[in-house]
Amino acid sequence: MSYLGDSGEVGSATYRSTDEVQVLVRPKVRNAFVATGDVTNGEFGLFQYDMAPQAGGPAPHFHRTFSESFFILDGTVRLFDGANWVDATKGDFLYVPKGGVHAFGNTSDEAASMLILFAPAPPRERYFIELAELVDSGRELSPEERAEFFAKHDQYMVE
């Protein structure tokens, strides 16, 4: 139990309007950082991840310090649970515990959208922002630098 009061707290909820949400727009992906850890007291992070047709996605990987969940809003998202790939559609859900190998992507000819929930909330938005900055710089990382970048963001690629 984490709340020990008897009457509930008035005024402790956090409302964010759409114009308060930071959005990272890339050529094939739009990532809206709906609720970051600084908004949720570190309890979870919630992003809306919209992908263009054939947007692809990350290779199989895992995280040591947080779980990750995927809820499909629209289109078809290819989800990997560490053993099998599935074409997930609207309403489908995948939970990945800490250490669970997973991947996702849009390999279809239609746009797709999903919610991604991280718990507890690492500053996951920093990973996406720094990755975009790295890509935009055109800088190529050595294998060691690449592994260090991913480790900094608790992302461990599976060969």
40-56 pLDDT, tens digit each = 999 999 999 999 999 99
3-state secondary structure at position 69: strand
Compute the Cα dihedral for 7, 10, 16, 22 and give only its sign.
negative
> Is residue 159's pLDDT more than 90?
no
Contact 149, 75 (CB under 8 A): no
d(CA 54, CA 32): 19
Mean pLDDT over each residue of the chain, to the nearest integer: 96
Q: What is the pLDDT of residue 92?
A: 98
Q: Report yes or no on 7 lying in a domain.
A: no
* Mean per-residue pLDDT, 99-122: 97
Domain range for 142: 21-157
> Is residue 129's pLDDT more than 90?
yes
Q: Report yes or no on 26 lying in a domain.
A: yes
Q: Report yes or no on 125 lying in a domain.
A: yes
* pTM listed for this prediction: 0.94
Give the Å distances, CA to CA, from 71 to 48, 85, 114, 159.
10, 15, 5, 26
Q: Report yes or no on 13 lying in a domain.
A: no
Q: Report yes or no on 6 lying in a domain.
A: no
Give the other-Cβ count within 10 Å of 124's Cβ: 22
Both structure tokens of 121: 């909330």
Q: Report yes or no on 16 lying in a domain.
A: no
d(CA 86, CA 88): 6
Amino acid at 28: K
Q: Report yes or no on 60 lying in a domain.
A: yes
Give the other-Cβ count within 10 Å of 46's Cβ: 19
Q: What is the CATH number of the domain that holds 133?
A: 2.60.120.10
Residue 10 backbone class (left: φ over 0; alpha: ψ -120 to 50; beta: rest): beta
Q: Report yes or no on 58 lying in a domain.
A: yes
Number of folded domains in the chain? Answer: 1
Tens of pLDDT, residue by residue over 54-93, are: 999 999 999 999 999 999 999 999 999 999 999 999 999 9
